[in-house]
Amino acid sequence: MQLILIRHSYTSGNLEHRYIGSRTDEPLCEKGIQIAKQKAAHWHEYGVQPECVLVSPMRRCLETAAILFPAVKQVEVSSLRECDFGVFEGKNYVELNGDEAYQTWIDSAGTMPFPEGESRDAFIDRCCKGLEHALQSCIETTVAVVAHGGTMMAILSECEESATPYFDWKIPHCVPIWCQVLEKKPLRIRKLLLPNCVLDK
């Protein structure tokens, strides 16, 4: 089975570098809609068409999936929603500068739970178990996942065979990460190298 991991397109909060997590159900902004449409046209040209799309239930993901793959069956997976950023939700690093709780979290290298929010370990566990469970019932050979940057970092850091650390994964909006599913349970995947025409446009 091939797995295509796709971060949703842009929201207004993304453009302002805000912590947009599971508490904020933002739609795509105009820039996000236009980029998703461009990607959809490009991928159609190269024959990128999954047989099923597993999607976070948040609006930015549902809207992205509908633009990218309008004719493909979508299955909402609640556990693929973004991390709960707690009291940092909706704020950016400029607004949080000087906040003692934020500095403490930064000093922990992101390992501490977000105040009144989710811990990284709990988030990774939720995302990986959710995807693993969803894939058990998939008989398709190519499955896309449209979710969040954090969701992709969680899945790749835990399940991808290179064991690349969480924060070393850089997840651009609407750029597909192609993987081969090596094992469904426990979930193990391998990132594939594909032509630049598919990966980078």
pLDDT tens for the 201 residues of the chain, in order: 999 999 999 999 999 999 999 999 999 999 999 999 999 998 888 777 899 999 999 999 999 999 999 999 899 999 999 999 999 999 999 999 999 999 999 999 998 999 999 999 999 999 999 999 999 988 889 999 999 999 999 999 999 999 999 999 999 999 999 999 999 999 999 999 865 545 454
Quote the tokens at residue 42.
Answer: 């490009």
Query: Which pLDDT score, from 0 to 100, does residue 198 have?
Result: 54
At residue 46, the pLDDT reads 76
In the prediction, which pLDDT does 91 show? Answer: 96
pTM for this predicted structure: 0.94
**Are the CB atoms for 60 and 29 separated by under 8 Å?**
no
Contact 20, 90 (CB under 8 A): yes
CA 148 to CA 166: how far, in whole Å?
14
Contact of 187 with 157, CB cutoff 8 Å: no
Angle, vertex CA 128, rays to CA 104 and CA 109, nearest 5: 15
Q: Which residue has the tokens 């008989």?
A: 139
CB 4 within 8 A of CB 177: yes
Report whether 128 contacts 61 (CB < 8 A): no
Residue 5 in 3-state DSSP? Answer: strand
